[in-house]
Structure 1
Amino acid sequence: MTIVPPEALRPSGGGDHYRIFTPYLRAWTRAGRRQVLDAPEKVPFPGGPALGRPEISREPYGSTRRARRPYEFPRGGESAARRRMARWLEWCAEDYADGKDDLAGDRTSRLGPYLRLGCVSPLELESLAENGEFVRQLCWRDFYHQVTSAFPRIDRDDYRPRGTRWRDDDGAIRAWKEGLTGVPIVDAGMRHLLAEGWMPNRVRMITASFLVKRVFVDWRVGAGHFAELLLDGVVASNYGNWQWVAGTGNDTRPNRTLSPVRQARRFDPQGEYVRRYLPELAAVPAKAVHEPWRSAPVKGYPPPLVPFG
């Protein structure tokens, strides 16, 4: 479910879809919108199996049990989605541009799972959100849907082949998945994913860039792991973003590499996010928490998987 249908916009210069986000954003912003409709009073169900409540595990994902606090998955359904939407629009939407990358503050909307399952309408959400940066994120969602509609093998094939030669390294892949790479911001993000089935978009980019640009593991490996665990793991956005990071997708700078240390110092300056998911670093001072390898080894925490200068 999108705001603008994938097939509704076509580049003026020809082609069946937009390959670059900025011109798509301009066209998307000018495009007409369907009317937001009220929910029907009654939804008829076909006969068949009796409806009931599914049994949902409250255990963290995966084999790693390293999160500091228990976490209960968000309640499902439209009512819960609308409550979440209303609270976020009232309290957090206004400063979204400043808060979306505040890793310790956790000020993102967390509406992704509800959008994925159709519990809340992206069209209604756009009509209620007055923050331009948040609406821009909804446009990114539509952008990847139209890319995937035109290139349905986005989860298997390079959108823009670069001839990259990937490494096969089961040990490195396992360390990345379990949050044991020795790079705190990467490990915190991966343990966050294991514990909650979610992580902030900034951390998704950092952890993905580390795997494909520093460990040189095929983006399909990482994207498949995310797809298995993310509560909001939509094929279009998940695989589109992984290809963007890997340089095989829609990024106009395919050689872009994110420095995990610089990103961590900028978006988690006091190390609060890292300590939340890496209790073994709780006693490390803030100035050293993002590069613990520069001081004495930390008991119970591995050295970096790849060299850092």
Structure 2
Amino acid sequence: MLDESILRSDYNRPNRACFLADCLRDLDARLRELGARLVIRRGHVPEVVAQLAEEHAAKEVHISSDVSSYAKGRETALRNSLRDNGRTLVIHDGVINVVSPGLLVPAARDHYAMFTPYFRRWSEAPMRSLASTPPRLRMPRIEPGTVPSASEICTGQPSSNLPPGGEQAARAKLDAWLSGPLRVYHRVYDSVADDATSRLSPHLHFGSLSATELVARTGRSSAGAHAFVRQLAWRDFFHQVLAARPSATSQDYRPRGGHWRTCDREMAAWRDGRTGFPIVDAGMRQLSVEGWMHNRARLIVASFLTKTLYLDWRWGARHFRDLLVDADMANNQLNWQWVAGTGTDSRPNRVLNPLLQARRYDPDGDYVRRYVPELADVPGAAVHMPWELRDRERARLDYPDPIVDLRQARARFLEARGKRRYDSAGQWPCQP
């Protein structure tokens, strides 16, 4: 069901449309092998689904659950529309979560606000058993419709190097992941140069791979498996936060009383990967080209925007949402709030220094040279501080100077959070 409201919203973007089109084609092909078809409809969900149920005398309509306020409102409207005609809506936990939001709650609260106690309970919770694929499917006489192309879902130019979507691609990637890289995941998952993460998040978001199956097949017997499953638990954690606090998609989960700066010039430099800090720019350019970004790079660029530049996390979340194939409301918005210090982080005022992060997670500069071609010929770790090159070497680079002084920016942030008084005589451009 292609929801017309979402198709016309800011959430609908070319990168996700490409991945979704792949998923739909792949699903239709698999259903054909089992004797069925993927039925495609487009429009206002409560009206179209209720009409389809009436045309085929269906007594029940089964859907997968979701946690956003929009999804909950749509569920209510669909339930009411079906009930008016004597039909029932059945909501399943689906493939989004391993442990459903609301199933684990602390005493006297409706959700966990801290990850560690949540993860402790999550690790002990019973997991749903995996269902086998039926050998054949029986389908009523129904017009299936046409699987849409990416451009029919969303117009616009997608990124140039997007991952393929669909279950077939997901299982190939999963098999490759389980056969080797998982074993050393706990040692290298933060290394942006090694690119040693699973890259399965788009498939989890679109449901071409079940999170429950992923946990079951990963197991928890090795250090790598335990570290990887812990990351999957973070997805469930943020979903249960959003289910309890739906306003957190746009409002501070924990307001800090600060006033974000406004500077279009700095926002544009961050968005375009032209901040003058190579590790930040590499992450932003990877996002632009691939519709994906390494998790450690996401932390670095988000901290730079919200704490070094002190620009509103909602700007960053919107840009990520525009380009990320794996962007959903819970993980995107609440991860941004976590980094910005307005979410569930127990250390809300920590600032990630991009130079220290670069030396630790890209020590030889391989990640930077991969995505910032202007710096491809700068050797070794020198690539992280091109402003220190000799004048002649620096002049040959088509690369900007840093847009901010890191020490002054940190002092500004701490003053804004009431942690330190900033008494420098320097003037801040683009002040509110």
**Which residue in 1 is equivalent to 2:174?**
85
Aligned to 2:403: 305
1:241-287 C-alpha deviation (Å, 9 max, x unpaired): 10001110000011011011111111111100000111111121213
Do the aligned residues in 2 keep the contact of 1:60 with 1:194 (CA within 8 Å)?
no
- Aligned position for 1:65: none
Counterpart amino acid of 1:9?
L
Residue of structure 1 aligned with 2:195, choices 106, 109, 112: 106
Structure 2 counterpart of 1:76: 165
Partner residue of 1:5? 100
Rounded Cα–Cα distance in structure 2 between residues aligned with 1:246 and 1:111 = 25
Bigger relative CO (Cα 8 Å, ≥ 6 apart): 1
Distance 1:8 1:186, change over 3 A: same
Instruction: Give 1:224's aligned residue.
Output: 318
Matches within 5 A, 1:1-309: 1-12=96-107, 14-41=108-135, 42=137, 44=139, 47-48=142-143, 50-52=145-147, 54-55=149-150, 61=159, 71=161, 73-130=162-219, 131-295=225-389, 296=391, 297-298=394-395, 299-308=397-406
Distance 1:30 1:274, change over 3 A: same
Instruction: Note the aligned Cα RMSD (angstroms).
Output: 1.9
Q: Displacement, 1:50?
A: 2.2
Please tell me the residue identity of whatever aligns with 1:138: L
Counterparts of 1:301 and 1:78 in 2: how far apart (Å)?
41
**Which is further off, 102-111 or 16-25?**
102-111
| Number of aligned residue pairs | 299
Contact 1:60 1:196 in 2 (8 A): no
2:308/2:406 contact within 8 Å kept: no
Distance, in Å, in 2 between the alignment partners of 1:44 and 1:227 is: 36
* Alignment partners' CA distance in 2, 1:156 and 1:43: 43
> C-alpha separation between the residues in 1 aligned to 2:350 and 2:146?
49
Residue 192 of structure 1: how far off its partner (Å): 0.4
Gaps of 5+ in 2: 1-95, 220-224, 408-432
Question: Which consecutive residues of structure 1, in runs of 5 or more, have no partner in the other structure?
Answer: 62-69
Residue type of the alignment partner of 1:276: R
Larger Rg: 2
Against the structure 1 CA distance between its residues 34 and 180, is the aligned structure 2 distance closer, same or farther, given a 3 Å change threshold? same
Any idea what the Cα deviations from partners look like across 1:54-88, whole Å, max 9, x if unmatched? 24699653xxxxxxxx63x2221112111111111
Amino acid corresponding to residue 149 of structure 2 in structure 1: P
What secondary structure sits across from 1:242 in the alignment? helix
Q: TM-score, normalised by structure 1?
A: 0.92
TM-score (structure 2 length as normaliser):
0.66
For residues 258 and 140 of structure 2, what CA distance do their matches in structure 1 show? 50
